[in-house]
Amino acid sequence: MELNSVLLTAGGSIGFFKLVNCGVSKLPRPESACRNAWKWRNICTSFTHSLITGIWAVLCFFLHPQMAEDLIGTHSVFSHALVSVSIGYFIYDFLDMVLNQKMILSWELLFHHTVVISCFGIAVLTGRYVGFAVVALLVEINSVFLHLRQILRMANLVAGDLYRINSMVNLGTYVVFRINTLAWMTRWLVLNRDNIPLFSYTVGSIGLAIMTAMNIVLFYRLLRSDFLKSSAPTPTEGKESRGSTQSP
């Protein structure tokens, strides 16, 4: 993709997720979610992004299996578009939080989004490491259940069977698609350090270190909230539920 195509795709993505957010605001919402209508719209928009990109990332490797053998130089237009769309979403979500939420409540996610946008930006602008970025987007499979968890909590459905089932699936996919993916990406980066320029290797290493630390904290919060004590909403609920894509 040329630069103009990248900007058009990312810009279109920003517009699309803005429309999703506006569409959610027109739909009925649980009375319990009316107390924080912005958060409800934001989580539903994030859920939509995770559902789309999680499936899209799997399709990228299914339709273009050669990319799995060369995560640096091999990719399809389909894969490149996925990363560009995700950049657009993270820019949109960054702005949405800056405009609607206090910095003290969102600084972790703002920092996370900055790292992701930087790393994905290198991939789409250089045309390299796109496959690595798509691997990172496999974590969105877990994010579907992570965001669904928050939706159920905001709807006061914590005591239902659906919440308990989602909690177990969420924890399982967290281990498989977040922890394992981060571990694999770290191993891949170390093994291929001789094939990666110093700048890209440094950015990738810092990004992975940050994401690993954030995900360890998030995993502890989820485990404590859903399995080690009562599942009543906690003050850290917002931080627990807004896990997002990890950077390459």
Q: Return the pLDDT at 1.
A: 59
Q: Return the pLDDT at 153.
A: 94
Q: Return the pLDDT at 207.
A: 87
Per residue of the chain (248 residues), what is the pLDDT tens digit? Answer: 578 889 999 999 999 999 999 999 999 999 989 999 999 999 999 999 999 999 999 999 999 999 999 999 999 999 999 999 999 999 999 999 999 999 898 998 999 999 999 999 999 999 999 999 999 999 999 999 999 999 999 999 998 899 999 999 999 999 999 999 999 999 999 999 998 999 989 988 998 998 898 899 999 999 998 888 654 444 444 444 454 444 44
Give me 14's structure tokens: 């920003």
Q: Return the pLDDT at 241.
A: 44
Q: Return the pLDDT at 45.
A: 97
Sequence length of the chain is 248
Q: Return the pLDDT at 230.
A: 52
